Amino acid sequence: MLKKRIVAFLTIVIVLFGVVAWTSPTIVKDVKLGLDLKGGFEVLYEAEPLEGGEAVTKESLKETARNLETRIDKLGVEEPEITTEGSNRIRVKLAGAENEEEIKEKLGKPVNLTFRGPDGKIELDGSDFKQNGAGVGYDNLGNPFVTIELNNAKKFEEITTRLIGQSLSIYLDEDLLSSPGVNYAIPGGSAQITGDYTVEEAKSLRDTINLGALPLKLNEKYTQSVGAKLGMDSLERTITAGAIGTVIILIALIALFRIPGVVASITLITYTWLLLVVFNLMNATLTLPGIAAFALGIGMAVDANIIMYERIKEEIRSGKSLMSSLKAGSKNSMRTIMDANITSILSMIVLYYIGQGAVRGFALMMIFSILLSIVTNIFFSRFLIMLIIKSNMFTKPSYYGVKEDEIRAL
Amino acid sequence: MRFDTKIRFDFVNNRKKFFIGSIALTLVGIISLLLMSMNFGVDFKAGTNMDIAVGKQLSQQEANQIFESVGISSATTTIGGAGDRVSARFNDVLAQNQITSIQNAFKEKYGDDVSTEVNVVTPDMAKEMGINSIYAVLIASVAMMLYVIIRFDWRSAVAANVAILYDAFVVIAIFSIFRLEVDLTFIAAVLTTIGYSINDKIVILDRIRENLRFGQYKNNEQLASLVNQSVWQTMARNIYTVLAVVIIAVALLVLGSESIRLFSLAMLIGLISGAYSSICITSPLWYVLKSKEKRKSAVKPTTSAS
């Protein structure tokens, strides 16, 4: 019966380490590296209308971001991260991109909307459309169509008269978006574009036309670019530093706390592995401050262990049996650890919502590490140590870092 | 619970020394900030920052010559790493073609092994980041204070928060005094200091709260003794924990890459200050606040904890 516990303990540890050793290479390889580790560059753009006029709308900002994404895709850069921030900003992160100058030049250009005749001749451009004049309507059957309004009704009537029976293709930059046919001459300066659109497609076409009518100019507000070699160098050195620090801590833990120290080492390794797994599952990007947070998370996880074991040691010293020391120790330390961790999480959540760029990555990593630390270093750790104590094989107080003469009789 | 913990040093009755020492450091910090401000990096001060690893030894003079050769003379350069790395600061926002010409000039002289990191920040962005960071620190500390008020009481919240803000300030003051460069990750370091420092404070306050539940005190001497015992009962944990994190921070400082070296240093200062202030500021300050409380009877029921 008692032997069973130690067998259970060993089985869990062996299986766990097997899984860790088996999956680690793949996991480490799958970690998405940020541009500060892999090389690449980041630009924060602030958008403003090209020709003064109206303020930047949310739709036009999103449309611009979408447009940047298509341009980047065409340049063959993998996994671009493009996010809109606030009311007029777009952040572009391109990890692993090399031809920075060329990409930046292409991204900085305002969009160019054109309507072209069958011969490719440009009949209308963005400036011919009323600002925010495009909309989406629905016919009797609920099929969407796009409405447009033009500045110059005469010009449009002339074009549509000339192109009856032919098509008037819509281009954004050099991309063909849609190629509606002209059925009859259209007077009055407004028209409907019908086609086999889904609601999404119609809305997207509307936004594109509105953006074309009022293209945004993108100003670079902040740029960061890292050479690939410099990034790799940072990565290697930071990981080495973190690993050395961790090994020293593991040795110190075992020296100070003996059996619980061994358990702490097991849970710490599990914790590190789990953190990477979760990190990959979230598809998060590892940055340099993220690694620092990772290392610090290990420190805080160690803290959770130390608080608990110090408490258990105290209980043993007060003369309690091992089992009741464990129970009292982990119960009493739980409150402390929880209060401490929750306050830390609170500060990191604030940081995440207020911070920008690298600071956000740091905060996110910290939040994950604290949550996982609670699971592994409190619950898992307690479970393992319970198995050991119940096995009755390690009963001497010295196994727990307590000297016999420190123990008081009850 | 155990009221026979050996008190090796009386933190409560020596509080004046700690308070005066800390106030003195704070004043020095304020004076330094007023006179010299901080050595802001590009993140907080508009301009361009280039970090160039050339893969070969070079001198500052050689680096400056290269900058001048492409027509840029306003660079502040320092040689770092193992003498093979140049950090250059320009107060202007460099255009992409200027940056490229610098990179090409270095590549021409030192070969294709040259690798650069470039940061460009425009003035309004720099200002925004600075203000943003101050908000972050203040809001984070308000959030933590509220939590401590809910879980403990206002005295603990005040005692903890004063010490935490002090810790954050110590990091800022030391960076100001020694002219160390402040960038965006510095804020992350200060916030980690805060997050970590609160851990320490909670552990001690939690022990005081627990000892209050078991022991009653009749006068201020007994209260002082209770606080001292709480400090000493948690001393081992406090030292071990700080050591654990200090080991990691030192490893990152000594072995880590250039870009997180100052980050690790800021964190190290914060961690040490946090450990000090938990024991020497928070605990005595809590005692001062608590001893002023008017007791209705000799037996004081305390907030119970689950």
Written as six digits, the tokens of A163 are 């192109």
Contact A118, A166 (CB under 8 A): yes
Written as six digits, the tokens of A81 are 């991260």
Average pLDDT for residues B184-207, to the nearest whole number? 83
Burial of B16 (0-12, 13-18, 19+ CB in 10 A): exposed
Q: Between the CA atoms of B67, B69, B73 and B78, what dihedral angle is there, to the nearest 10 degrees?
A: 30
Q: Indicate whether A147 and A15 sit together in one domain.
A: no
Q: Indicate whether A101 and A186 sit together in one domain.
A: no
Mean pLDDT of chain B: 83
Q: Point out the domain boundary residue: A162, A180, A215.
A: A215
B188 and A363: CB-CB below 8 Å? yes
Q: Which of A252, A318, A350 has the CB atom closest to B136's CB atom? A: A350
Average pLDDT for residues B146-152, to the nearest whole number? 91
d(CA A235, CA A229): 10
In this complex, is the C-beta atom of B112 within 8 Å of any C-beta atom belonging to chain A? no
State which H helix or E strand residue B116 sits in.
strand B115-121
A233 and B257: CB-CB below 8 Å? yes
For residue A223, the cross-strand partners are: A43, B120
Query: Domain extents for chain B?
Result: 15-40+125-291, 47-120
DSSP state of B103: H
d(CA B236, CA B172): 28
B157 → chain A, closest CA residue: A343
CATH code assigned at A156? 3.30.1360.200
Question: Per-residue pLDDT tens for B224-233?
Answer: 999 999 999 8
Determine the pLDDT at residue A258.
85
Which residue, among B294, B290, B146, has the nearest Cα to B209 in the 3D structure? B290
**Residues contacting A321, CB < 8 A, separation 6+:** none
B185 → chain A, closest CA residue: A359
pLDDT over 70 at B303, yes or no: no
Determine the pLDDT at residue B294.
66
Contact A409, A24 (CB under 8 A): no
A306 and B240: CB-CB below 8 Å? yes
Q: Which of B147, B203, B240 has the CB atom closest to A336's CB atom? A: B203
CA distance B90 to chain A (A): 14
Contact A293, A373 (CB under 8 A): no
Other CB atoms within a 10 A radius of the CB of residue A30 amount to 14
| CATH architecture of the domain covering B47-120 | 2-Layer Sandwich (3.30)
Contact A311, A329 (CB under 8 A): yes
Determine the pLDDT at residue B277.
95
Which residues of chain A carry a pLDDT beneath 70?
A: 1-2, 51-54, 292, 356-358, 409-410
First to last CA, chain A: 29
Q: Indicate whether A207 and A250 sit together in one domain.
A: no
Written as six digits, the tokens of B83 are 């003498």
Q: Between the CA atoms of A376, A377, A383 and A389, what dihedral angle is there, to the nearest 10 degrees?
A: 150
Choose between A203 and B166: higher pLDDT: B166
Contact A213, A113 (CB under 8 A): yes
Domain count, chain A: 3
User: Which amino acid makes up residue A208?
Assistant: T
pLDDT over 50 at B297, yes or no: no
Contact B41, B120 (CB under 8 A): no
Written as six digits, the tokens of A93 are 């992160």
Determine the pLDDT at residue A53.
61
Q: Point out the domain boundary residue: A151, A183, A215.
A: A215
Q: How confident is the model at residue B298 (pLDDT cuts 50, 70, 90)?
A: very low
B251 and A248: CB-CB below 8 Å? yes
Written as six digits, the tokens of B133 are 């960071």
Query: Considering only residues 47 to 106 of chain B, which have any Cβ-Cβ distance to chain A shorter than 8 Å?
Result: 51, 53, 96-97, 100
Q: Point out the domain boundary residue: A162, A188, A215.
A: A215
Determine the pLDDT at residue B3.
45
Question: Per-residue pLDDT tens for B212-260?
Answer: 888 778 888 888 999 999 999 889 888 888 888 888 888 888 887 777 7
Query: A157 vs A160, A163, A340, B297, CA distance in Å?
Result: 5, 10, 72, 94
B264 and A336: CB-CB below 8 Å? no
Query: In which domain, by residue range, is A129 found?
Result: 113-215
Backbone angles phi, psi at A83, to 5 degrees: -130, 150
Assign a CATH topology to domain B15-40+125-291. Multidrug efflux transporter AcrB transmembrane fold (1.20.1640)
d(CA A331, CA A378): 10
DSSP string covering B32-84, please? HHHHH--EE-TTTSSEEEEEEE-SS---HHHHHHHHHHTT----EEEEETTTT
CATH code assigned at A76? 3.30.70.3400
- Residues shown for chain A: 410
Q: How confident is the model at residue B275 (pLDDT cuts 50, 70, 90)?
A: very high
Written as six digits, the tokens of A390 are 């119940």
Contact A172, A112 (CB under 8 A): yes
Q: Indicate whether A17 and A63 sit together in one domain.
A: no
DSSP state of A398: G
pLDDT over 80 at B306, yes or no: no
Written as six digits, the tokens of A322 are 């091992």
Other CB atoms within a 10 A radius of the CB of residue B218 amount to 11
Q: Chain B residues with CB inside 8 Å of A228's CB?
A: 115
Q: Indicate whether A298 and A376 sit together in one domain.
A: yes
Q: Indicate whether A48 and A127 sit together in one domain.
A: no
Which residue, among B274, B155, B265, B230, has the nearest Cα to A340 in the 3D structure? B274
Determine the pLDDT at residue A1.
57
B252 and A292: CB-CB below 8 Å? yes
**Residues contacting B235, CB < 8 A, separation 6+:** B279
Determine the pLDDT at residue B1.
42
Other CB atoms within a 10 A radius of the CB of residue B36 amount to 11
pLDDT over 60 at B296, yes or no: no
Q: Indicate whether A246 and A332 sit together in one domain.
A: yes
d(CA A115, CA A122): 6
Which residue, among A355, A349, A253, A338, has the nearest Cα to A299 in the 3D structure? A253
Q: How far is CA B66 from the centre of its chain?
A: 37
Phi-psi region at A257: left, alpha or beta (left = phi > 0; alpha = psi -120 to 50) = alpha
d(CA B294, CA B291): 8
A237 and B255: CB-CB below 8 Å? yes
d(CA B70, CA A100): 20
Q: Indicate whether A221 and A211 sit together in one domain.
A: no
DSSP state of B303: -
CA geometry: angle at B161 spanning B157 and B162, to 5°?
Answer: 120
Q: Indicate whether A121 and A102 sit together in one domain.
A: no
Q: Indicate whether A237 and A282 sit together in one domain.
A: yes
Q: Indicate whether A143 and A269 sit together in one domain.
A: no
Mean pLDDT of chain A: 83
Please, what sign has the CA dihedral across residues A99, A105, A107, A112? Answer: negative
d(CA B98, CA B120): 12
Contact A295, A365 (CB under 8 A): no
d(CA B184, CA A52): 33
